[in-house]
Amino acid sequence: MKRRELLRHLKQHGCELFREGGKHSVYFNVVGRKTSSVPRHNEIADKLARKICKDLDIKEP
């Protein structure tokens, strides 16, 4: 999955950028009050994308 597709999915489900780290961006789910880090690779493995969504307590892409 492309990183920009995952970020679009996160924003559609109420997640916001919390902060930028060295190699990751940390996203925050406002409703569920949960965080997860998203690596800055162009391609993100589907398994990792599902884990990020699960951590943020949103629907999988």
With bands split at pLDDT 50, 70 and 90, how would you rate the model's confidence at 1?
Answer: very high
With bands split at pLDDT 50, 70 and 90, how would you rate the model's confidence at 2?
Answer: very high
Contact in structure between 3 and 42 (CB atoms under 8 Å): yes
Domain that holds residue 33: 3-56
Residue 61 in any domain: the answer is no
CATH number of the domain that residue 31 is part of:
3.30.920
**Tens-place pLDDT, residues 13-61:** 999 999 999 999 999 999 989 999 999 999 999 999 999 999 999 999 8
Per DSSP, which regions of the chain are E strands? Answer: 15-20, 24-29, 34-39
Contact in structure between 15 and 49 (CB atoms under 8 Å): no
pLDDT at res. 13? 95
Residue 15 in any domain: the answer is yes
Task: State the Cα–Cα distance between residues 53 and 43, nearest whole angstrom.
Answer: 16
Residue 49 in any domain: the answer is yes
Please tell me the total count of domains within the chain: 1
pLDDT at res. 33? 94
DSSP state of 42: S
Task: State the Cα–Cα distance between residues 42 and 6, nearest whole angstrom.
Answer: 10
